[in-house]
Amino acid sequence: MKKRLTVDMDGVLADVFQQFIINHERDFGQRKTLEEIAGLSEEEAFPKTREYVFTKGFFRNAPIIKDSQEILARLNEVYELFIVSAAMEFPNSLGEKQEWLNEHFSFIKWQQMVFCGSKTIIAADIMIDDHFKNLDHFHGVTYLFTQPHNKLTDPGRHTRVNSWQEIASLLL
């Protein structure tokens, strides 16, 4: 029986930090580097975070995190895969996120998508996420995907992964 694997969207598949950087540069004329925002929450790094995430197109046009398409396609063969995104906070994002997945990860069927508010309700064997608030409540094996906001924090009981190539070497 295949193990059930849940994969987060924002900060794991969708490069929302790049979206923040692009939006911030447009508004403030300054391009923040990943180094200078390391350890900062999104709100600390980008003062207009809340405005950006409620803007039409923010999630629809997010860049794709390197290697995620190819490696997720391979994981989809080996695991019972679900994409689990905490999308409920941003009402506009629901349709955009589904369209984004359909375009960039067309091998993911609608049966494999979950949009929720809290991930405490998710039952699976393995979770890949960039937020401690999601991983800390999860009872299975946990992988912390490195993003600027979690870069300086001790991963604790979670295994830190810095790239999709690292995920491939651990899970394939």
Q: Name the site residues for its own copies (rule: CB under 8 A).
A: 4, 6, 82, 84, 88-89, 91-92, 94-95, 98-99, 109-118, 121-124
What is the rounded CA–CA span in Å between residue 80 and residue 85? 16
How far apart are CB 61 and its own copies at their closest, in Å? 18
Query: Is 57 or 117 the residue whose CB approaches its own copies more closely?
Result: 117
What is d(CA 75, CA 157) in angstroms, rounded to the nearest whole number?
Answer: 23
- Of these residues, 8, 15, 129, 130, which one is catalytic? 8
Distance CA 84, CA 116 (A): 7
φ, ψ at 83 (rounded to 5°): -95, 120
Q: State the CB neighbour count (10 A cutoff) for residue 44.
A: 11
Shortest Å distance, C-beta 34 to its own copies: 30
- Name the active-site residue from 10, 15, 129, 130: 10
- Name the residue nearer to its own copies (CB basis): 116 or 170: 116
Active-site annotation holds for 8: yes
- 46 secondary structure, DSSP code: -
Instruction: Cite the active site residues.
Output: 8, 10
